[in-house]
Amino acid sequence: MTEFTEIPVLDLAPLITGEDTTQLAADFADAYGNIGFAYVVNHGVASDLCKAIFAISRQFHDLPDAAKQAIALDSTHRGYIAINTSTDVNSDLAEVTKPNQSASFMMMREDAEPDPDLYLSGRNQWPVLPGFRDACEAYAKAMTELGYQLMGLALDAIGTTDRSILSAFKTPTIWLRLLHYPPLPPQAPEDLYGSAPHKDFGCLTLLAQDDVGGLQVQTPAGQWVDAPPRDDAFIVNVGDMLHRMSNGKLLSTPHRVINATGRERYSVPFFFDPTVSATIKPLPGTGSPQFEPLNFGDFLKGELEASYDAHQADPSGPQPKTG
């Protein structure tokens, strides 16, 4: 990892149009092998979908509290997450004692017939808001397609010719989160964050931001570099699971959100991960394994139970399937 002062930009046009991606894979390896974050442009996702998801997010967060609490986060991690209800207690990047200053709606894959034995299998909870479900599902579909393409590019970037892991992304674990950050109060304490310093625990995060800003990425020297919004781009970063799959070649980099602008901030992260039954381990061709295999569902269960009341351990409840 190298010191940096700005976030690089990757042009995905060759990937989207089916042209030669040799140089793009090299650029991907450089960006994610040294920084872990990049803007991606020419990504193929229609701007109308992006505008619609931000519009519907604002409408949702403007609903009365009772309407949002009616779909409060459940044990399958779907629904409304109110402000002051999630804390990054597992963070080893800062002493986190205060909840994140954000509220959000969480959508995952819609399982028509939930499997009670499969961790996080379920149906989404939808608010009474015209057009909300359609906007979320259309956006999630487009982002799922882009996520799958980016995973293929990541495999090229780390030099593995084995594509078998992509089967774990055919029925992926997806998380669409509609986030609202109120402005932090004047003279807020230093340890009060919109989102506390953390690394993402999955594979890929594809983030759309409004024009407010507040996202910062940490350098190896501990400095915080702004990642300001760009109308034409998503910010994409690597999470811990892809870091492990790549045998450490791709970096999962700490980041945080501080909304000190005095304005309301909205962002839409989309997390693209393998099925919960996937075994996460260094992929063939990446060198001598630096990480032990782990089951993704078991890992998720530990992370979610540590941070959300809705996931507190219930020995009589569903357990992750392994495989």
Q: Give the model confidence (pLDDT) of 24-41 as tens digits.
A: 999 999 999 999 999 999
Contacts of 164 by beta carbon, 8 Å cutoff, 6+ apart? none
Residue 322 pLDDT class (50, 70, 90 cuts): very low
Q: Give the model confidence (pLDDT) of 120-162 as tens digits.
A: 999 999 999 999 999 999 999 999 999 999 999 999 999 999 9
Does the pLDDT at position 313 exceed 60? no
Does the pLDDT at position 111 exceed 90? yes
Strand partners, 103: 180
Report the C-alpha gap between 181 and 271 in whole angstroms.
19
Give all domains of the chain, ordered by start, each with its CATH number. 9-311 (2.60.120.330)
Contacts of 92 by beta carbon, 8 Å cutoff, 6+ apart? none
The three-state DSSP-derived secondary structure of 145-196 is HHHHHHHHHHHHHHCCCCCHHHHHHCCCEEEEEEEEECCCCCCCCCCCCCEE
Computed over every residue of the chain, the mean pLDDT equals 91
Mean pLDDT of 304-314: 71
Report the C-alpha gap between 279 and 168 in whole angstroms.
9
Does the pLDDT at position 203 exceed 90? yes
Report the C-alpha gap between 296 and 239 in whole angstroms.
13
Q: Give the model confidence (pLDDT) of 29-78 as tens digits.
A: 999 999 999 999 999 999 999 999 999 999 999 999 999 999 999 999 99
Does the pLDDT at position 306 exceed 90? no
Pairwise pLDDT comparison (291 vs 116), residue with the higher score: 291
Q: Under a CB-based contact definition with an 8 Å cutoff, are residues 61 and 279 in contact?
A: no
Helix (H, G, I), strand (E, B) or coil at 227: coil
